[in-house]
Amino acid sequence: MPKSFDFAQAPGHLIRRAQQIAVAEFTRETVSHDVTPVQFAFMSAMMDTPGVDQITLANRVAFDAATSGSVIGRLEAKGWVRREADDRDRRRKLLFVTPEGASALKRMNAAAERAQQNILAPLAPQDQEVFMRLLAQLVAGHEQSGSGTD
């Protein structure tokens, strides 16, 4: 009888489990902030590039541009983000973090940092560095080849 595929040791399965753990840790640490990991990523990227357009922002955080509008809409409803039409192209929306959003993001940063530390906590410090280097290499390699997107 042929041996079945050992999915428990497959990279895809382990990466999916790691993603589940990452979201759970983020949610646990940020529960009082009413924010999702994707919303936090969008807000952080907008703080770094005020006036970024929605498509560029979605690409920057590796999120589907077609559904990024709903994420931005939820942030806008919270009063954390505002959209402005571009003077040169009225169809293009520019995004800005509001003062309320900047204050909320500042309060969230420590919780998000704790979540990142919790994710890596099972690894020894030197293994954390190796893991992060290899993970970044894996992602960059797939991004350069065009695989792993969409």
Are the beta carbons of 43 and 105 closer than 8 angstroms? Answer: yes
> Which portions of the chain are predicted below pLDDT 70?
148-150
Q: Residue 109 and residue 143: Cα distance in Å, rounded?
A: 27
Pairing mode, strands 93-97 and 81-85: antiparallel
Residue 114 lies inside a defined structural domain of this protein:
yes
Residue 109 lies inside a defined structural domain of this protein:
yes
Q: Residue 144 and residue 91: Cα distance in Å, rounded?
A: 30
Q: For residue 148, what pLDDT is reported?
A: 62
Q: For residue 67, what pLDDT is reported?
A: 86
Q: In which domain, by residue range, is 121 found?
A: 7-145
Token code pair at residue 8: 């428990």
Residue 1 lies inside a defined structural domain of this protein:
no
Q: For residue 2, what pLDDT is reported?
A: 73
CATH of the domain at 84: 1.10.10.10
Q: For residue 150, what pLDDT is reported?
A: 52
Q: What is the reported pTM?
A: 0.86
Give the N- to C-terminal CA distance of the chain in Å, as an integer. Answer: 37
DSSP secondary structure, 2-71, as one string: PPPP-GGG-HHHHHHHHHHHHHHHHHHHHGGG---HHHHHHHHHHHHSTTEEHHHHHHHTT--HHHHHHH
Number of domains in the chain: 1
